[in-house]
Structure 1
Amino acid sequence: MRPPKITFIGAGSTVFAKHLMGDILSFEDLQDVDIVLYDINEERLNESLAVGNKIKQQLNVPARITATTDRSKAMDGADFCINMIQVAGYKPGTVVDFETPKKYGLRQTIADTLGIGGIMRALRTVPVLAEMSKDMERLCPDTLHINYANPMAMNCWGLSRLSKIKTVGLCHSVPYTAKELAEDIGVPYEEIDYLVAGINHMAFYLKFERNGEDLYPLIRKVMEEGRVPDGNRVRYDMFKRLGYFVTESSEHFAEYVPWYIKTGREDLIERFNIPLDEYPRRCEKQIADWKTMSKDLQDSSKTIPIERSVEYGSHIIRAMVTGKPAVVYGNVPNDQIISNLPEGCCVEVPCVVDRNGIQPTRIGAIPPHLAALMQTNINVQALTVEAIVTGKREHIYHAAMLDPHTSAELDLDQIWSLTDDLLKAHGEWIPENLR
């Protein structure tokens, strides 16, 4: 039996590829895998290959790691396709998503999941993923497509309507937030049991326990004692009002709702410590740091720190290859999984994984106020996906009209004008029938 073939799509994301390769090759069961790195940027691809070979050498494993700019060659016979692309990149993609709305007074923090920025990112990304999935149907029809690309929910929802390929979306917000909360309340992360359900970036801890003891009172104590971390003020405020803690960071969550970022309300920005333009800052820092980081990663005299990340990808691959079960949080179509969210939308829930693949846990009904809040985001996702699938351009405007943050800041004429400006600015990155 041949070793599993794992294809990295968008492998020029070297740091992320490094984490995933380290995770995979650290498992004794997966040390003879065939990893193929694919990217359209040959320079970054070669950097990732050098890093991969260094990890292989340090771990002294027999895995094969190759790189190619030929997508068909990369996908041919792949058992797993891990997708980490960013269509249009930071420049021009992200820059346009931030700078054009600013002309209308619409400010954002991350703009990769919802909001006008998330809508545009989906319009650029879903068609490319769908095109890639056609290659998978031809070259590796039984593959598992593991998607890390944002906007997660819209990407996965779009693919569920446009492709026959099995897809699961993965995000690290569930374990990351659990670890943050563990630190806040002084309980070891390893001792905590939790149940999370919802949509990506707006899922909630329905249970947060240790040995059957509810730990939510300890989280409330953090607020009562004034120990809320500066970077987490939005989420703690939502916890105070909803009674459940949300999985995604405060800077993300602030732009999914209409309450925290408002023109002329700098008091809100200061009170909740909201980092406007946070994603462009991170990108600029990463670009500035990359030259040094790249040299260090490829320098043969320096070792690469290899520590297991919180990413679920390697656990899925190991479980499906060996049959040893794992539990991960995955983004999957809502096939009666959460009963009070729309059928077919993309939900984030615990999934059991083994040789049978991804098996989502049926949750039932979640608290009605949480479902209602999620629905405000699902409306935007649904209309954006509808625009992409049907080619009906008017649904892009409808998605923007119903977006909580955009509609709280702009009137209808402004929303339509902004949408026109963004579609024009993105040009060839948007499918021709939607420009």
Structure 2
Amino acid sequence: MPKIAFVGAGSAVFTRNLVGDVLTHAALRDDTTFALMDIDVDRLETAEIVTSRLIEAHGAGAQVTATLDRREALDGADYVVTSFQVGGYEPSTVIDFEVPKRHGLRQTIADTLGVGGIMRGLRTIPVLLDVCSDLEAVSPDALLLNYVNPMAMLCWAVAERSSIRTVGLCHSVQGTAAQLADDLHLPASELDHLVAGINHVAFFLRLEHRGEDLYPRLREVDPPDWNRVRYKLLEHFGYFVTESSEHFAEYSPWFIKDGREDLIDAFNVPLDEYPRRCEAQIAEWAALREELERGGAVDVARSHEYGADIINGCVTGEPFAFNGNVPNRRADGGLNIDNLPADCCVEVPCEAGASGIVPQPVGALPRQLAGLIQTNVTVQGLTVEAALTGRRDAIYQAAMLDPHTGAELSLDEIHDLVDDLLEAHAAT
């Protein structure tokens, strides 16, 4: 009888998707216990109602509990799903956007890299390590499925400081595959691909349909307006990147420049996109709550997240292939990606089954891709170091070496920006 704990279950829409996915598996639908935990009473209550309604809709025998006590939720857990946002939209995300803006630095998402990603990493790493510390005490054999950003930084920190088995999960690989299939007018289920790199900066090393290399056709595609950045990267680097154009625009020095509205317009870069999404998600949660209070039904459609299929694979032994975020250094001493640092977190093909999560090594990446990825890995590593050691100079250095920040501001300007961000967050 597997117990699946959700830390940050108040992300009710995400919880709805993953719980619903779990209930589609015959091996999980009747014997699973969903242990929901959140620090927000109202959101936790909504998540509990959603989960109960889903169990009813599926005619399943699963059980649900809800608690504000994290250790209680984690006690005896076989699988743990993390989906929390430390500091919330307000004040933390607002600070991460508004303070850099005053310094002349604009961002799009700011949850993975850049000064926004650095700040989010610094405030989130300690919380995730606390979760792992609880797990070490009450459920040391649990598998942690982390959905929290900045994904690579968090999984890197856990690998450094915890014995808990962890895999980071994102939907960028399967989401991008579906987008490419649409651009190429092909069924997504018929694409054959090999993807590797780091979270949000992984590349389709192979993209085929029934043995045909699809890259020649892909280079002829007229890019959708919302995806111009990635197609421009394909043009110059030869491979398609997994994460969205609005994300990648701020992972590199080429697309967002102060005073260059021509670039912003040419590549359709949606500045300040993440605050808009946060407000939309808050509204979606409120609408879901209102619908539940009226007795409305919950959506039982399958999502495209990996989590439920991974749990099913581990429980039943039925292999499930996916892309996961894992340490680059393998248990046998080798590397999953030969030309990236051994201590970093990489996103590579994995298989879930009776033995747990088994990453598949991919060898060396094309040199230009490894070089591009390394610019992000350096920032991630310094941020992790800062979070684990308290070294303030590592925060400055992470921001100074960030591709977008370094292309916009001088060293002294970056130093002052970091000081202002740290001061603003300390005041909340």
Shorter-normalised TM range = over 0.9
Give the secondary structure class of the aligned counterpart of 2:118.
Answer: helix
Note if contact 1:51-1:298 (Cα within 8 Å) is conserved in structure 2.
Answer: no
- CA shift for structure 1 position 298: 4.6
Give the secondary structure class of the aligned counterpart of 1:121.
Answer: helix
* Letter matched to residue 10 of structure 2: G
Which of 231, 241, 247 is the aligned partner of 2:242? Answer: 247
Give the secondary structure class of the aligned counterpart of 1:168.
Answer: strand
Give the secondary structure class of the aligned counterpart of 2:27.
Answer: helix
Identity across matched positions, percent:
56
Kindly provide the CA deviation profile for residues 118-176 of structure 1, in whole angstroms up to 9, marking residues without a partner as x. Answer: 00000000011111111000000000011000000000001111111111000000000
> Are 2:17 and 1:19 equivalent residues in the alignment?
yes
Note if contact 1:54-1:298 (Cα within 8 Å) is conserved in structure 2.
Answer: no
- CA shift for structure 1 position 416: 0.4
Kindly provide the CA deviation profile for residues 250-292 of structure 1, in whole angstroms up to 9, marking residues without a partner as x. Answer: 0000000000000110000000000000000111222234322
For 2:349 and 2:7, locate their aligned partners in 1 and report how far apart those are by CA, in whole Å: 25
Give the secondary structure class of the aligned counterpart of 2:194.
Answer: strand
Report the number of matched residues: 422
For 2:359 and 2:279, locate their aligned partners in 1 and report how far apart those are by CA, in whole Å: 38
For 2:115 and 2:81, locate their aligned partners in 1 and report how far apart those are by CA, in whole Å: 27
- Normalising by the residue count of structure 1, what TM-score does the alignment of the two structures yield? 0.96
- CA shift for structure 1 position 299: 3.4
For 1:100 and 1:142, locate their aligned partners in 2 and report how far apart those are by CA, in whole Å: 42
For 2:200 and 2:6, locate their aligned partners in 1 and report how far apart those are by CA, in whole Å: 24
Kindly provide the CA deviation profile for residues 48-101 of structure 1, in whole angstroms up to 9, marking residues without a partner as x. Answer: 100111101111100001100011110001000100010001011100000000
Structure 1 outlier segments of 4+, above 2 Å? 285-293, 297-300
Compared with structure 1, are the counterparts of its residues 299 and 60 closer, same or farther at alpha carbon in structure 2 (3 Å cutoff)?
farther
For 1:355 and 1:73, locate their aligned partners in 2 and report how far apart those are by CA, in whole Å: 27
For 2:427 and 2:169, locate their aligned partners in 1 and report how far apart those are by CA, in whole Å: 28
Note if contact 2:12-2:285 (Cα within 8 Å) is conserved in structure 1.
Answer: no
> Are 2:40 and 1:41 equivalent residues in the alignment?
yes
Give the secondary structure class of the aligned counterpart of 1:332.
Answer: strand
Which of 318, 343, 351 is the aligned partner of 1:324? Answer: 318
Give the secondary structure class of the aligned counterpart of 2:220.
Answer: helix
- Normalising by the residue count of structure 2, what TM-score does the alignment of the two structures yield? 0.97
Q: Which residue of 2 aligns with 1:402?
A: 401
Note if contact 2:168-2:324 (Cα within 8 Å) is conserved in structure 1.
Answer: yes
- Structure 1 residue runs of 5 or longer lacking an equivalent are 430-435
Give the secondary structure class of the aligned counterpart of 1:30.
Answer: coil
- CA shift for structure 1 position 228: 1.1
Q: Which residue of 1 aligns with 2:332?
A: none
> Are 2:306 and 1:312 equivalent residues in the alignment?
yes
Kindly provide the CA deviation profile for residues 341-362 of structure 1, in whole angstroms up to 9, marking residues without a partner as x. Answer: 0001000001011111110001
Q: Which residue of 2 aligns with 1:279?
A: 274
Kindly provide the CA deviation profile for residues 202-227 of structure 1, in whole angstroms up to 9, marking residues without a partner as x. Answer: 000000111211111121121xxxx3
> Are 2:119 and 1:117 equivalent residues in the alignment?
no
Q: Which residue of 1 aligns with 2:65?
A: 66
- Structure 2 residue runs of 5 or longer lacking an equivalent are 330-334
Give the secondary structure class of the aligned counterpart of 2:257.
Answer: coil
Note if contact 1:50-1:298 (Cα within 8 Å) is conserved in structure 2.
Answer: no
* Letter matched to residue 232 of structure 1: N
* Letter matched to residue 313 of structure 1: G
Q: Which residue of 2 aligns with 1:333?
A: 327
Give the secondary structure class of the aligned counterpart of 2:23.
Answer: helix
For 1:5 and 1:298, locate their aligned partners in 2 and report how far apart those are by CA, in whole Å: 28
